[in-house]
Structure 1
Amino acid sequence: MDDNQPTAAVLGGSVSGLAAATGLLRIEEFDRVTVYERQEYDDKRVDCGEAINDTTLIPLPKTPENGFVNDIDGFQIRVYDGTDRPLDAPPLAKSNVCCESGYICERPVVERRWAAELEARGVEFRTGRSVSPTDYADIVNSYDYVVDASGQPSLTLKANGNASEYTGDMVALNATVEGDFSAYRNRPRIFFEGYVGYAWAFPKSDGHANVGIGWAGDRRPADYFAALETAAERNAFPVPDRADVNIATIPRGPSLGPDRVCDPEAKVFLVGDAAGIANRYQGEGICQGIRSAYLLTELIADGNESAYPRKLYELMRSEYRLARLMRGAWVEHEDIDLLAAVTEALEGLTIDDVTRRPATVMRRVAGRPATALELISDAGMIRRVYESYTDSWEYTSRGGP
C-alpha cells in the first residue's frame, strides 16, 4: 500500500454502493476501495426495485445467470376509476410506454454477481455486520473518502443527529408470486386506481412475477396487507402470502438540502437513497442511485468533488420537475378522467421521456388542448408549474443549490 494514494470506503453494498465502488475502481490513483455491507450476499436480500429501466448502467452481461431474467419491451399503464369496481371492469385508459434497455430482474442475483465481479478486481468486501456509530467514526477517520450508500435514514444522518430530516413519502409492499403471466410478460403492468400511488405486476417469467402496491401522500389504508390482497384480486394477479411480503419506505426525493448531501471537509458524500434520490411521482430509485454514484466518482476523478451537490441537483432537476407536475395532475384535481386523458397522451413515449423529460411530456399533453386547459385551470396546478420552473419548491428556500 502506498500511503500517498487515497483510499475509499463505501457504506452499503446495494446497487448505489456497488456503482460507487465501480466508479472508484476506475480511478487509478486509488489504492484501496472497501465496501461495508450489513448482509451477506448469499442470504436473501430485499425483494424490491426489480424493474430496472436502464440496465446499461450495470456493468454485467445481461444474462439470466446475472439476474436479468426478463428483457421487456416496456410497460403498460392502466387507469381505473377507483378501487371499488367490478372485477371485470375495463380500464378507463391504457398506455404503452417503451423501455429498450429495461429488464425485470432477480435483484439479489444482480447484486451478488456485481459484487463478485468487483471483488475479483480488487475491491474488499466486509459483509455480515452493521456499521455502528463507533465504526462509522473510525471509518471516516481511516479513509480519505467515504461514500454513504446506506439508504435512508443514512448512517451519516444518524451519526450527525439529523435522522429526523429523512422524509419517507411512499410506503410500498411487494412479493414474488407464482401464476400465469404469459399474457403480459413482455409488457409488465402498472395500475393507477384513484389514489396517490399504484399497484404493479412485473413478470420475471411466464410463471412468476414481482407484484406490489405503493402509496404516497396522506391517504393511507388502515391495513396495508389487506390493501395489497384486495389489489391483487381486482387486478387479477395472485395474492401473496403475508410471510413473503416486504415493506419499504421510499424517499420522496429530494428529502435533503445540499448541506446534507456531502461534508467536503470530512470527504463524506451521500448517494442514492442516502441522499434522498428517488422519483417523487412513482418511487423509482435504482437508476437514480446508480447515476448519482457515477456522477460523484467522476467528480472525484477530476478533483472537483466539492461541486457534487450542485451537479447532483442539475442531474436530477428535470426529473424532480416532471414528477412534481405529474403528481399534481391527480393531487390538485382528483379527477380520474383527467388522469386517464394524460395517460393516453403518453402512448409510445419512453420511460426516460415519462420520468426525465418535461418538455416531451408537455408537448404531448399540449397536443390535446382540452386536457391541457383542464390541467392548468386549477390554482394549485398553476402554483406547481411556477414552483417547478423557478425551483422554489425544491428546498425550503428558493433556488436550491
Structure 2
Amino acid sequence: MQQQSRSDDTCSAAIIGGAVSGLAAATNIHALPQFSDVVVFERQQYDDKRVNCGEAINDTTLVPLEKTPENGFVNDIDGFELRVYDGQDHDPHEQPVGVSRLQCEPGYICERNVVEKRWADKLAAEGVEFRTGASISPSKYDQILETYDYIIDASGQPSLTLKAKQETTNYTGDMVALNATVSGDFSSYTERPRIFFEGYVGYSWSFPKSETQANVGMGWAGDERPENYYEAFKTTAQRNGFSVPERDQTNIYTIPRGPSLSPEQTYYPENNVFLVGDAAGIANRYQGEGICQGIRSANLLGELIATEQEHRYPEKLYNMMKSEYRLAHLMRGAWVEHEDSALLAAVAESIEGLSIEDITRRPSQVLSRLLRRPITAAKLISDVGMLTRVYESYTDSWEFGANEA
C-alpha cells in the first residue's frame, strides 16, 4: 500500500467518475471508519445535462434514495413487455410473432440526471468532497495516484487507467446504443415499457417516464452495425410507433459487452487502483444492462476493503457475474446461431412471467422453463454453434482478445 496521506490510522480515496458506479463506490468507501478523505472527480457538473442512457433501473433497492419523483424515480413499473418481430420491415400496427411479459417489482423508469444529482448531494452533505467540471489529464491522473491511498476508477469503457497504460485494446467487445427523450402518447404501456427484438443482435426500446414522455433508444451488440446510426434509429422509431428523436437531442454511448476485460486487469495492486462498472468491462452481454452491475461491483469492493480482502476483488467480481455472463452468452446464441425469429419468439414466450432478476442472474430458472418446451429446447441445441456456446459457458472459456458476433 502507498504511504497514507494524513496519518498512520487513516486512508484517503479518489473516485474517478461520478455516475452511478462511482457514487456507489463513494457511498461504500465513505462508510468505512478508516477513510478520512473521499473525493469524487467528475468531468461534468451535476446541474448540467449529463446522461440519459440507462434510465430504466431494474433494481432500485441498490440506490440509497427514497423512491420519489423529486429524486428522479418518475415511473414505478410492473415489468417489461418483450416484442419479437420477423425483421425490420414491419409497420407500427403489425402484430409481433411473439410477446413475453417479464416482472420487475423494484424497477423504475428514471430521470437519471436527477437520480445522480440527488445521490451526489446526499454524499456531499455527509462529507464526501466533489470536484466537478474538469476532465482528468494524464498528468492529473498521475498526481491522483501519488496523492491517494485508494483509487477507484469508475470512468467507463475504456477507463482512464487503461488509457494511461495505453492498454485500451485489452477490451474485447462493446455495444453501441443511441437514445433520446421524446414526447408522444405512451398511455397504453406506461406501466409495462416495451423492448423490441427485430432480427439483429441488439434491440430497441420505449420506456415511458409518463403518459406523454419516454426514453427511447436502439442498441447493437454484434459486429453487423449500420452505416448511419441515426438513420437506423429514425426508422426504428417510425416502425415501432414512437416519436422520431431530433438528431441534436440523440446521444450515443459505448457499453462493454461483458465480460470484455480480463479480471486480472480490474485491480492494480502497485497503486491500489480498482476498476468498477463499465471501466471493469462488466455488463450484461445479452441486453446491455450495466447500472445495477456497476453498483454491485462497487458494493463488493467496499465489502472486501472492509474485511482487508481487496486483493480478492478480481476473483470475487468475476464469480459474482459468472452466472449472468453464462446466461447472456446462451440467450444471445438463440439469435446469433439460428437467426430464426420464430425460435426467438418461442424462447421469449417460454420465460413469460419471470423477473428481470431471473433472466439476468439465474440460469436455472430460464433453463427449467425451456425444458418445459422440449421442441424449443431441441431446436436451440441442434446447432454446432449453440453447443459450442454451452461448452464455453460452463467451462468459462471467455474470449478476452477474441471477437464474438
Deviation per CA, 1:88-132: give whole Å up to 9, x if none: 210001110000100000000000000000000000000000111
- For 2:290, the equivalent position in structure 1 comes to 285
Counterpart Cα distance in 2 of 1:87 and 1:9: 49
- One of 129, 133, 137 as aligned partner of 1:132: 137
- For 2:325, the equivalent position in structure 1 comes to 320
**AA in 1 matched with 2:227:** A
Counterpart Cα distance in 1 of 2:31 and 2:343: 48
Secondary structure, in 3 states, of the residue corresponding to 1:31?
strand
Find out whether 1:3 has 2:15 as its counterpart.
no
Find out whether 1:216 has 2:216 as its counterpart.
no
- One of 196, 200, 205 as aligned partner of 2:205: 200
- For 1:66, the equivalent position in structure 2 comes to 71
- For 2:107, the equivalent position in structure 1 comes to 102
Counterpart Cα distance in 2 of 1:281 and 1:160: 29
Deviation per CA, 1:170-190: give whole Å up to 9, x if none: 111100000110100000000
| Preserved CA contact (<8 Å) 1:168 1:249 | no
- One of 335, 340, 344 as aligned partner of 1:339: 344
Secondary structure, in 3 states, of the residue corresponding to 2:64?
coil
| Preserved CA contact (<8 Å) 2:170 2:401 | no
| Preserved CA contact (<8 Å) 1:144 1:267 | yes
Deviation at 1:362, TM superposition (A): 0.5
Q: Which moved more, 1:120-129 or 1:256-265?
A: 256-265
**AA in 1 matched with 2:183:** E
Find out whether 1:191 has 2:196 as its counterpart.
yes
- For 1:274, the equivalent position in structure 2 comes to 279
**AA in 2 matched with 1:35:** V
**AA in 1 matched with 2:112:** R
| Preserved CA contact (<8 Å) 1:68 1:103 | yes
Deviation at 1:238, TM superposition (A): 0.7
Structure 2, unaligned runs of 5 or more: none
Secondary structure, in 3 states, of the residue corresponding to 2:224?
coil
- For 1:386, the equivalent position in structure 2 comes to 391
Deviation at 1:394, TM superposition (A): 5.3
The 5 A counterparts of 1:1-400 are 2-4=6-8, 5-393=10-398, 395=400
**AA in 2 matched with 1:100:** E
Deviation at 1:331, TM superposition (A): 0.4
Q: Which moved more, 1:230-239 or 1:216-225?
A: 216-225
**AA in 1 matched with 2:159:** S
Segments of 4+ in structure 1 off by > 3 A?
A: 394-397
Counterpart Cα distance in 2 of 1:85 and 1:308: 47
Counterpart Cα distance in 2 of 1:394 and 1:35: 33
Secondary structure, in 3 states, of the residue corresponding to 1:260?
helix
| Preserved CA contact (<8 Å) 2:98 2:348 | yes
Secondary structure, in 3 states, of the residue corresponding to 1:353?
helix
Counterpart Cα distance in 1 of 2:364 and 2:259: 21
Deviation at 1:3, TM superposition (A): 1.4
Secondary structure, in 3 states, of the residue corresponding to 1:370?
helix
| Preserved CA contact (<8 Å) 1:77 1:343 | yes
Deviation at 1:26, TM superposition (A): 1.2
Deviation per CA, 1:297-319: give whole Å up to 9, x if none: 11001100000000000100000
Q: TM-score w.r.t. structure 1 length? A: 0.97
Deviation at 1:395, TM superposition (A): 3.9
Deviation at 1:393, TM superposition (A): 2.3
Secondary structure, in 3 states, of the residue corresponding to 1:42?
coil
